[in-house]
């Protein structure tokens, strides 16, 4: 029966077309993701002010421990997941030349993602959590909604790709389907989800062979390297060593993936100035490259001795989760949403968003890398703990300032999301890359 229903929707669509319902699904994924970005980074900002001003908001529901878990889980499972799944649906349908399949499941997935984020935020703030399981602090019944959302989203993408009008499966869909399968396995295996890798590539197109090399080497190395988070712990020494070796192996997919993108850009650098999306994707790829290469260096035992447990890791987390994942998500949204809704964002706001976020995160990562190194050196030297606090203090001030720049950037982005979705239609000029004249400078 499913077969008969899909046949009627197989008629190829023009690549920029989408049914009104597809557009509504994409818009609502983006709108709710933006809500989570604003809420959870406001929380992150408050946390960053608590370092220089520890007496700020001392009530239990504003305590650092509760807010930290709200920030991390909310940015991963609220912001990044919902934003990237919205893009993944749109890419799956457009690259398959058909309308999105199983739309009811897509709506159900949206509801389940948001329900998980709402319940997760409330329970964490009430102090109901899963102990110190980092990034898995949501209690199991909250996380269950998230896993259901991932499974439903996976079904939607697989059903859409299976019904494609094209013969080839577009490379982005390999990555997204891989992401859904990995996340489901992780969610079930750990009884709780952990979701920070896999969908980041949705907006990055490129040479097929390098893309495939990147895909398979990621598959080979990534599952093992998790143990590099547990160096110098009771885990078997050989497993820690294997994780370090595979962390070096990860340079293959990282460099293949980044090289893939840069080669795609060859001869077309001029386009970057005229596109909303490309500057974000460019920074996303650069910070993926730098953050992951930094990760490999950080995994080496001699350097872990200094950097482990310090703010250096917080810098790495933001270089990757913010500089890579969040920038790629923004790039994907700016590239795809105006085409879907036929509504353009404000160019000035795009520029403001980009520069505030880019400078903000660069300063954020820079100052925390210095703070982390100073902390590690004082500990290694056997100084009293307070010496490490004093050494890091000025850098925490700088993090609060750069964090404020990032938060303002998110408000500007929210304005643009409104412009691209709910705002009344204006007859603006289309400047997304696909609409540039084909004679654009080579």
Residues that bind ligand HEM (CB under 6 A): 41, 44-45, 47-48, 68, 71-72, 75, 79-80, 134, 196-197, 225, 228-229, 247, 250, 254, 291-292, 295-296, 298-299, 304, 307-308, 313-314, 316-318, 320-322, 324-326, 403, 406-407
C-alpha–C-alpha distance, residues 178 and 219, integer Å: 9
C-alpha–C-alpha distance, residues 405 and 415, integer Å: 16
Q: How far is CA 328 from the centre of its chain?
A: 7
DSSP, collapsed to helix, strand or coil, labels residue 167 as: coil
Nearest-approach distance from CB 376 to ligand HEM, in angstroms: 10
Nearest-approach distance from CB 183 to ligand HEM, in angstroms: 13
Nearest-approach distance from CB 291 to ligand HEM, in angstroms: 6
Number of Cβ within a 10 Å radius of residue 62: 15
Query: What tokens were used for 135?
Result: 């990034």
C-alpha–C-alpha distance, residues 154 and 108, integer Å: 12
By beta-carbon proximity to ligand HEM, the closer residue of 132 and 424 is: 132
C-alpha–C-alpha distance, residues 141 and 159, integer Å: 27
DSSP state of 187: H
By beta-carbon proximity to ligand HEM, the closer residue of 117 and 340 is: 117
Rg (alpha carbons) of the chain, rounded to whole number: 22
C-alpha–C-alpha distance, residues 420 and 341, integer Å: 7
Nearest-approach distance from CB 273 to ligand HEM, in angstroms: 26
- 300 φψ region: left (φ > 0), alpha (ψ -120 to 50), beta (else): beta
By beta-carbon proximity to ligand HEM, the closer residue of 23 and 370 is: 370
The residue among 84, 51, 32, 44 whose CA lies nearest residue 336 is: 84
Nearest-approach distance from CB 248 to ligand HEM, in angstroms: 8
- Cβ-closest position to ligand HEM: 295
C-alpha–C-alpha distance, residues 190 and 158, integer Å: 24
Return all residues near 137 (Cβ < 8 A) that are at least 6 apart.
69, 72, 73, 124, 129, 130, 131
**Contact between residue 288 and residue 320 where contact means Cβ atoms under 8 Å apart:** yes
By beta-carbon proximity to ligand HEM, the closer residue of 71 and 353 is: 71
By beta-carbon proximity to ligand HEM, the closer residue of 343 and 410 is: 410
Nearest-approach distance from CB 162 to ligand HEM, in angstroms: 29
By beta-carbon proximity to ligand HEM, the closer residue of 12 and 54 is: 54
Query: What tokens were used for 212?
Result: 């495939």
Query: What tokens were used for 258?
Result: 């980044």
**Contact between residue 283 and residue 276 where contact means Cβ atoms under 8 Å apart:** no
Kindly list the distances between the CA atom of residue 227 and the CA atoms of 221, 237, 307, 380, in Å, as whole numbers in the listed order.
12, 10, 16, 23
By beta-carbon proximity to ligand HEM, the closer residue of 212 and 314 is: 314
C-alpha–C-alpha distance, residues 176 and 182, integer Å: 10
By beta-carbon proximity to ligand HEM, the closer residue of 71 and 339 is: 71
Nearest-approach distance from CB 1 to ligand HEM, in angstroms: 40
Instruction: Give the largest CA-CA distance in the chain.
Output: 72
By beta-carbon proximity to ligand HEM, the closer residue of 68 and 274 is: 68
By beta-carbon proximity to ligand HEM, the closer residue of 80 and 349 is: 80
Nearest-approach distance from CB 296 to ligand HEM, in angstroms: 4
């Amino acid at each position: 029966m499913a077969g008969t229903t899909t046949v009627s929707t197989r008629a190829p669509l023009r690549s920029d077309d989408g049914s009104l319902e597809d557009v509504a699904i994409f818009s609502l994924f983006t709108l709710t993701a933006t809500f989570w970005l604003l809420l959870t980074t406001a929380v992150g900002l408050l946390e960053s002010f608590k370092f220089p001003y520890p007496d700020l908001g001392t009530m239990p529901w504003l305590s650092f421990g509760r807010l930290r878990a709200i920030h991390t889980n909310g940015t991963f499972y609220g912001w990044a997941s919902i934003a990237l799944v919205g893009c993944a649906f749109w890419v799956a349908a457009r690259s398959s030349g058909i309308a999105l399949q199983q739309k009811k499941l897509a709506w159900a997935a949206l509801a389940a993602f948001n329900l998980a984020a709402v319940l997760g935020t409330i329970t964490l703030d009430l102090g109901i959590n899963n102990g110190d399981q980092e990034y898995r602090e949501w209690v199991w019944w909250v996380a269950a909604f998230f896993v259901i959302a991932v499974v439903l989203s996976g079904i939607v993408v697989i059903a859409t790709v299976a019904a494609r009008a094209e013969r080839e499966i577009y490379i982005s869909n390999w990555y997204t389907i891989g992401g859904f399968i990995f996340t489901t396995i992780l969610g079930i295996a750990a009884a709780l989800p952990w979701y920070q890798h896999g969908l980041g590539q949705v907006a990055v197109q490129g040479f097929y062979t390098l893309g495939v090399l990147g895909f398979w080497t990621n598959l080979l190395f990534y599952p093992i390297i998790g143990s590099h988070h547990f160096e110098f712990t009771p885990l078997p020494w050989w497993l820690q060593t294997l994780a370090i070796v595979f962390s070096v192996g990860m340079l293959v997919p990282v460099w293949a993936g980044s090289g893939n993108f840069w080669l795609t850009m060859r001869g077309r650098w001029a386009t970057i100035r005229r596109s909303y999306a490309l500057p974000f994707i460019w920074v996303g790829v650069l910070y993926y490259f730098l953050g992951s290469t930094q990760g490999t260096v950080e995994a080496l035992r001699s350097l872990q001795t200094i950097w482990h447990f310090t703010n250096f890791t917080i810098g790495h987390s933001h270089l990757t989760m913010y500089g890579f994942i969040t920038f790629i998500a923004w790039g994907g949204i700016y590239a795809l949403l105006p085409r879907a809704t036929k509504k353009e964002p404000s160019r000035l706001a795009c520029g403001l968003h980009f520069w505030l976020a880019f400078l903000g995160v660069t300063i954020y990562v820079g100052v925390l890398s210095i703070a982390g190194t100073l902390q590690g050196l004082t500990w290694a030297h056997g100084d009293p703990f307070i010496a490490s606090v004093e050494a890091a203090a000025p850098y925490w001030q700088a993090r609060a300032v750069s964090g404020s720049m990032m938060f303002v950037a998110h408000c500007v982005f929210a304005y643009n999301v409104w412009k691209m979705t709910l705002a009344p239609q204006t007859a603006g000029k289309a400047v997304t890359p696909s609409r540039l004249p084909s004679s654009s400078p080579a």
